[in-house]
Structure 1
Amino acid sequence: MDNSLFHGDLVTSKRIIYTPSKFARSQLIHLQEIGELQAQKPHISQRENLASFLFFIVTSGSGSLIYRNKEYQLQTGDCIFIDCHKAYSHLTSADDLWSLKWIHFYGPNMTAIYEKYASRGGLPCFHTVREHAYANIYHDIFTLTDSNSTSRDMKIYEKLVSLLTLLMEESHNQTSPVSDKNKKQNLQMIKEYIDTHYQNKITLDQLSSNFFINKFYLTRSFKDQFGLPVNSYLIQTRVTHAKQLLRFSDLSVEKIGQECGMNDANYFSRVFKKTEGIAPGEYRKMWKM
């Protein structure tokens, strides 16, 4: 770990270059570098082909980011979350020099996590209404790098996961078409209907008719609000109840499928195995041993 304070013509910065354990590098989302800077003069920073993901927040001033051939104008309270394998550059504006707090991190599953973030509507640049939450995570990670805890990398991992969770939560609000309060209420009622009527046959047409909502809007907006398409949520609900019955009842596998709205035994077994990775009978045996 290198804790460096840098005073120069361009920036005043404080950074920690961190070296995680071999275990953390191979198994965990791990810290590479964390720091903050105050620009002293206009300047540009350029990077590409870094095995890293970058989060930073503009704490004062303004500037811009160029990422994947698109330019984003940045103001105080704006957050950046990007894949540094791609070329990027950022620069402070000349008449409103910025200050930043940043975190570089990586992990064996980070590419998939970032793809999930983007698929949920997450943008490289967005304005946060939760600046304090990001500041707390930054402070906690910065403090942990100087701790003597034998589980330091695990604690840093926990905080990085909190950062990613916060980013995922905010990604839902970046491009979500669901803005009307009554429509959100309608979707919540549909979710609750599925939670209590999963044993019955449920179709998009039926939900659309019962709740007076366009089924194409329902398809798109249910996923935006709850993270899963309607049918996937229905399957998840049925499988969850099937798992409970497999563990805590003596009903046959076929009967459990029927109790959970999947009357065809082969279909039930196929859906269960696709979701859980094992057949219903294997699941029961494993958890009842």
Structure 2
Amino acid sequence: MDSPLFDGELVHARRIIYTPSPFARSSLLHLQEVGSLQARQPHDSVRQGLSSYLFFMVESGSGILEYAGNQHELHAGDCVFLDCHKPYLHRTAQDLWHLRWVHFYGPNMVPIYKKYEERGGQPVFHSRQPEQYKNLLQTLYRLAASDDYVRDMQICGRLVDLLTLLMQESWHPGAARISHGKKQNVQVVKEYLDSHFTERITLDALAERFYINKFYLTRVFKEQFGQSITNYLLQLRITQAKRMLRFSDHSIESVAAECGLQDANYFSRLFKKIEGITPGEYRRQW
């Protein structure tokens, strides 16, 4: 595939508009468009209502972004990650910018972007590792231009790498502040759960042990670790149960008890709800 080059009054651009296979469209993270541009004069780009997510990085120059009711100044090294269902506008300044971008989508992108926001991710951030983003965008462009018969799988892999980088840089548990001061770090609570998940643990007991209001603890734990105390505790217990089911001959009742779930029937129902099979079926499979 040739690399389409566009020379216009406003931009000098190199882009590939990509059509994924039906399988990729229904099952994978898939590419819609990837490219780079050098602005030739100040101009606006306005979009809305797209079934797409946009990532772009400013390699040089500057401009502004209007998104979700806010205006952001953009400079070299800044990155943008947007849900294009919402309207947005970006405009290069007199210091004409050079951008690299990718539009992409996938069947799970709505909850992925929501998780990005929950972790403190912002639509605009200054990257700590711009070369990694640049390399990924260049690789996506090269794959889109290739005729490799597994390129949709390769593209999906690189988009996963992009989202992984974005999730790493979005991790700002202190990004949201309350009006009366800095939020308390609850790492010590997480460490306690890691060591005592086999015991009976209640929210009231945790709040009393660490001298924290239980409602405040619930909210801040989720902000700092991306999930509720209940879900985190359940994750620890189910992981331990899977370990014991695979590598011991303990009975189901014993496994349940040693994971902090005394009721074997409840444990079995919970295990099936999460893993899709019963503890006994899991043991036989592995």
- Once residues 154 and 55 of structure 1 are traced to their aligned partners in structure 2, the CA distance between those partners, rounded to angstroms, is 20
Structure-2 residue corresponding to 1:44: 44
Query: 1:187-224, CA deviations, whole angstroms, 9 ceiling, x for partnerless residues?
Result: 1x443332232211223444445456565554334333
Structure-1 residue corresponding to 2:180: none
When residues 211 and 133 of structure 1 are mapped into structure 2, their CA distance, relative to the original with a 3 A threshold, is: farther
Structure-1 residue corresponding to 2:163: 164
Structure-1 residue corresponding to 2:125: 126
- Once residues 107 and 171 of structure 1 are traced to their aligned partners in structure 2, the CA distance between those partners, rounded to angstroms, is 20
TM-fit CA distance, 1:46: 1.4
Structure-2 residue corresponding to 1:88: 88
TM-score, normalising length: structure 2: 0.87
TM-fit CA distance, 1:159: 0.5
Q: Any gaps of 5 or more consecutive residues in structure 1?
A: none
Structure-1 residue corresponding to 2:237: 238
Would the aligned equivalents of 1:200 and 1:261 in 2 still touch at CA under 8 Å? yes
- Once residues 269 and 83 of structure 1 are traced to their aligned partners in structure 2, the CA distance between those partners, rounded to angstroms, is 39
Aligned length: 283
Structure-2 residue corresponding to 1:248: 247
Amino acid at match of 1:110: M
TM-fit CA distance, 1:275: 2.0
- Once residues 5 and 209 of structure 1 are traced to their aligned partners in structure 2, the CA distance between those partners, rounded to angstroms, is 64
When residues 123 and 174 of structure 1 are mapped into structure 2, their CA distance, relative to the original with a 3 A threshold, is: farther
Structure-2 residue corresponding to 1:202: 201
Amino acid at match of 2:196: H
Partner-residue secondary structure (3-state), 2:107 = coil
Structure-2 residue corresponding to 1:261: 260
TM-fit CA distance, 1:162: 0.6
Structure-2 residue corresponding to 1:4: 4
RMSD (CA atoms): 2.7
Structure-2 residue corresponding to 1:138: 137
Instruction: State, as a whole percentage, how many aligned pairs show the same letter.
Output: 55
- Once residues 2 and 75 of structure 2 are traced to their aligned partners in structure 1, the CA distance between those partners, rounded to angstroms, is 30
TM-score, normalising length: structure 1: 0.86
Structure-1 residue corresponding to 2:54: 54
Would the aligned equivalents of 1:172 and 1:224 in 2 still touch at CA under 8 Å? no
Query: 1:13-35, CA deviations, whole angstroms, 9 ceiling, x for partnerless residues?
Result: 11122222232222211111111
TM-fit CA distance, 1:236: 0.6
Would the aligned equivalents of 2:119 and 2:224 in 1 still touch at CA under 8 Å? no
Would the aligned equivalents of 2:120 and 2:176 in 1 still touch at CA under 8 Å? no
Q: Any gaps of 5 or more consecutive residues in structure 2?
A: 178-183
Q: Which moved more, 1:143-152 or 1:100-109?
A: 143-152
Query: 1:96-122, CA deviations, whole angstroms, 9 ceiling, x for partnerless residues?
Result: 221111001112222232222223332
